[in-house]
A and B are shown apart, each in its own frame.
Chain A
Amino acid sequence: MVSTQLKRLTAVSVATGLALSLAACGKGSSTDSGGEDASGATVLKMWTHNAGNDAELAAIQGVVDDYNASQSTYKVEVQAFPQDSYNTSVTSAASSGSLPCILDIDGPNVPNWAWAGYLAPLNGLEDRAADFLPSVQGVWNDELYSLGYYDVALAFLARTSALEAAGVRIPTADDPWTKDEFAAALEAIKASGQFDNVLDMQTGNTGEWWPYAYSPQLQSFGGDLIDRENYESADGVLNGPEAVEWATWFRSLVTDEYMPLKSGQDPAQDFFNGKTALLWTGSWSAAPAAESDIADDVTFLPPVDFGAGAKIGGGSWQWGVSATCSDMDGALDYMTFAMQDEYVASIAEATGTIPATDGAAAMVDGYGEGGKYDIFRVFSKNFAELRPVTPGYPFIATTFTKAAQDILNGADPQATLDQAVKDIDANQKSNDNFAPTS
């Protein structure tokens, strides 16, 4: 009985499996760039990290459609990948020699991908790049490798009513909080007893968030991730007195019970639900804030000046051309077309981000002079600091992240930062300080 059932099950499974497998044979649509379509146009594959991000993907598709309609020599085809796993897909494709012609890149990764030979310089676009925000230009070894349509800006999300009730001055872009003012504001809000968390720095986030969100604060204290004079060592900047002061302050946010050791799964919702008073976030929270129940009470505050000037991280997603592209002229032709102001504007508008050129900003509602989102553009212009422009950045970022997490959990600041410096220096040295290979 059992045997008969098993035989039937096996037979059905075999038939189904083989039928499905046979029906499924064949390659997907992502064959290498350089082939021709039915009309004879050269196909240029383009990868983006925007799968699941309908607004930005649609805007990019709009640019591509316009380009394809504008000429008949090339046809750009978009392939979208989920952001969370995009870098894995790109590095795997680079390993197997199957990169597309055009691709987007997270800004801090540009030097590494250029050094590794994934990217080709954008020759001929240098003049156009001069119109873009410095933070969206992917420059390494004096060559332009990428350009971005937009930037994002870090900011504190706060409730005006809570600040007023606590008697705290509301800072402006021209007059940010000082370190002492910030400490006093935290204490005053804590004393009000109105919120579970006085501050949420989104410490539950992972990956690039840590260096993006917290290394600007380290810089504002006077430290840095690496000595930018020669990008050879972090000694003295990541473990100097200023960096230790930053680390001690960072840990004190937890020990003084201003901030949870690890933020909740969705800190933005904690803010909107009234659990958190101050949220360290970015311009991407503007749209959810505007749609929230407390939209009229929400305000965005500039970063704190801890002594060496207020700082935020600069650089978002940018576009480049792969070094293995079989039709470089076509790829550069698309890049030139796509970086026109009208497309910078359309993509920034679709994503609610800061347009990268003045011309585009004038076209996007809210980003013109005095617009409701212009404050982010001001933050970006006034405070943005690029993460270290070295191919060693991915290692520096993970090393800093581990050190900062250890410090937040109570590790000795000096010893932890000394170890981080040792690791970073060893990595730079073992790669000959990432000297250009050509």
Chain B
Amino acid sequence: MSASATTSTGDVAAPAPHAVVPARANRSHRGPSTGRLVWRWVVRIALTLVFALPLLFMFVSSLKPDTQIFGDLTSVRAFLPVGDISLDNYTGVFGRVPFWRFLANSVVIAVATVVLGLIVNSMCAFALARLRFRGRSLALGVIIATLIVPFETLALPLLWWVNLLPYYDGSTGWLDTYEVQIIPFVANAFSIYLFYQYFASIPKELDEAATVDGAGRFTIYRKIVMPLAGPAIATVAILTFLPAWNQYLWPLMVVQSEELRPVMVGIDYFKQLNTSWGQIMSYASLITIPVLVLFVCFQRSFINSIASSGVKG
């Protein structure tokens, strides 16, 4: 890199002999010092290990017999696929639980909850953010206030309610259905709040222009606001998907048939008096893969959505 200078007129002046480049500028140009670079990499590698090692341990242990898992715990072998490696634990998992059924159930529940949640919550937020009606602020306040109520508090009253609801086949009660695992979680105060925040930041002039062109409220919602709400949609989708996928307490309370159980309940199948840790690791690996795949596919959107909304999952 030559030490040249540009004049105020834009001409490039010849370098002055023995020109002295300010030390600070020079260092900045060269980038961080070696020591700082090494330190940065050490921190990065350490953080990577902190987050990756538990996953690595899970995957590696899923290939080992129980005795070896615990025998390897005190050494680095715990993270290495060495010793008596096999797929026996995976075979055991498929023999012990109807894995594909549980997986399909969780996919149905999570996808339906996300899709219906995006529609319902965005519409609710649109009304709160873009329409003017009496009691709007009160409604928003009440919705936000529900954020502080933990699910455990609501579980029993909710159970009581869903057991009284009429079902479409003429019977009473929604227990032991897919619907009871989906519908109560569609409307979500946090999702409404996220959408509300995002919609409020979109210029209202766009609505006014669309109204002049003859667009109704639903058209504005569908064709103006939602197409601009990509980051909010991604954030809400991910933040809805994860708890729907991880549902545990509610299915225990409302699902009685094995054919309707989600994957998280399945992990209890392995907790017997003589717990099979290898099979637990295999099962945990199998149910983690869909979430990892989803994250890898939507990694860019996820990071962008966090950056734009300031929300962490």
Interface of A toward B, CB cutoff 8 Å: 2-3, 6-7, 10, 13-14, 16-18, 20-21, 23-31, 47, 51-54, 79-85, 88-89, 92-93, 95-98, 264-266, 268-270, 272-273, 282, 284-285, 287-288
Q: How far is the CB of A324 from chain B (nearest CB, A)?
A: 13
B171 touching A27, Cβ below 8 Å: yes
A18 / chain B contacts, CB cutoff of 8 Å:
112, 115
A98 touching B163, Cβ below 8 Å: yes
CB contact under 8 A between A20 and B96, given known A26-B177, A52-B270, A266-B275: no
Q: Is B116 an interface residue when CB atoms closer than 8 A count as contact?
A: yes
Q: Is B159 an interface residue when CB atoms closer than 8 A count as contact?
A: yes
A25 / chain B contacts, CB cutoff of 8 Å:
168, 177-179
* Cβ-closest chain B residue relative to A91: B253
Instruction: Select which of B115, B159, B230, B271 is within 8 A of A84 by beta carbon.
Output: B271
B108 / chain A contacts, CB cutoff of 8 Å:
20-21, 23-24
Q: How far is the CB of B159 from chain A (nearest CB, A)?
A: 6
Q: Is B259 an interface residue when CB atoms closer than 8 A count as contact?
A: yes
A92 touching B253, Cβ below 8 Å: yes
Q: Which 3 A-B pairs have the closest CB atoms?
A: A28-B257, A52-B269, A82-B268
Instruction: Select which of B167, B252, B277 is within 8 A of A92 by beta carbon.
Output: B252
Quick one: which of B133-167 are within 8 Å of A by CB?
156, 159-160, 163, 167
8 A-B residue contacts at CB 8 Å? Answer: A20-B107, A27-B175, A28-B260, A51-B268, A83-B268, A85-B265, A98-B173, A273-B70
A83 / chain B contacts, CB cutoff of 8 Å:
268, 271-272
A269 / chain B contacts, CB cutoff of 8 Å:
66-67, 69-71
B96 touching A88, Cβ below 8 Å: no
Report the bound CA distance from A53 to B116 in whole Å. Answer: 37
Q: How far is the CB of A50 from chain B (nearest CB, A)?
A: 9
B253 / chain A contacts, CB cutoff of 8 Å:
88-89, 92
B1 / chain A contacts, CB cutoff of 8 Å:
none
Q: How far is the CB of B12 from chain A (nearest CB, A)?
A: 40
Q: How far is the CB of A159 from chain B (nearest CB, A)?
A: 16
Instruction: Select which of A16, A26, A79 is within 8 A of B256 by beta carbon.
Output: A79
CB contact under 8 A between A264 and B270, given known A3-B230, A28-B257: no
A13 touching B168, Cβ below 8 Å: no
How would you classify the secondary structure of chain A's contact residues: helix, strand, loop or mixed? helix
Q: Give me 18 other A-B pairs in contact (C-beta within 8 A), A18-B115, A84-B268, A96-B175 excluded.
A: A10-B118, A17-B115, A20-B111, A21-B116, A21-B178, A26-B177, A27-B171, A27-B175, A51-B97, A80-B258, A84-B271, A88-B252, A89-B252, A92-B252, A265-B70, A266-B66, A269-B69, A273-B67
Q: Is B114 an interface residue when CB atoms closer than 8 A count as contact?
A: yes
B70 / chain A contacts, CB cutoff of 8 Å:
264-266, 269-270, 273
CB contact under 8 A between A30 and B111, given known A79-B256, A83-B271, A265-B70: no
CB contact under 8 A between A30 and B112, given known A6-B227, A96-B160, A284-B273: no
CB contact under 8 A between A2 and B230, given known A13-B115, A52-B269: yes
A92 touching B176, Cβ below 8 Å: no
B274 touching A30, Cβ below 8 Å: no
A265 touching B277, Cβ below 8 Å: yes
Report the bound CA distance from A14 to B120 in whole Å. Answer: 12
B254 touching A92, Cβ below 8 Å: yes
A89 touching B115, Cβ below 8 Å: no
Report the bound CA distance from A97 to B269 in whole Å. Answer: 25
Q: Is B255 an interface residue when CB atoms closer than 8 A count as contact?
A: yes
Report the bound CA distance from A2 to B71 in whole Å. Answer: 51
Q: How far is the CB of B229 from chain A (nearest CB, A)?
A: 9
Q: Is B249 an interface residue when CB atoms closer than 8 A count as contact?
A: yes
Quick one: which of B62-108 are within 8 Å of A by CB?
66-67, 69-71, 73, 95-97, 107-108
Q: How far is the CB of B74 from chain A (nearest CB, A)?
A: 9
A23 / chain B contacts, CB cutoff of 8 Å:
108
Q: How far is the CB of A14 from chain B (nearest CB, A)?
A: 5
B97 / chain A contacts, CB cutoff of 8 Å:
51-52
Report the bound CA distance from A80 to B70 in whole Å. Answer: 30
B173 touching A96, Cβ below 8 Å: yes
Report the bound CA distance from A399 to B273 in whole Å. Answer: 23
A95 / chain B contacts, CB cutoff of 8 Å:
156, 159-160
Report the bound CA distance from A332 to B114 in whole Å. Answer: 46
Report the bound CA distance from A48 to B160 in whole Å. Answer: 24
A2 / chain B contacts, CB cutoff of 8 Å:
230
B252 touching A85, Cβ below 8 Å: yes
CB contact under 8 A between A20 and B176, given known A52-B96, A89-B256, A98-B163: no
Report the bound CA distance from A282 to B260 in whole Å. Answer: 35
Q: Is B220 an interface residue when CB atoms closer than 8 A count as contact?
A: no
A264 / chain B contacts, CB cutoff of 8 Å:
70, 73
Residue with the greatest number of chain A CB neighbours at <10 A, chosen from B177, B252, B254: B252
Q: Is B233 an interface residue when CB atoms closer than 8 A count as contact?
A: yes
Q: Is B169 an interface residue when CB atoms closer than 8 A count as contact?
A: yes
Report the bound CA distance from A199 to B255 in whole Å. Answer: 42
Q: How far is the CB of A423 from chain B (nearest CB, A)?
A: 22
A16 / chain B contacts, CB cutoff of 8 Å:
111, 115
B277 touching A52, Cβ below 8 Å: no
Report the bound CA distance from A92 to B179 in whole Å. Answer: 18
Q: How far is the CB of A280 from chain B (nearest CB, A)?
A: 14
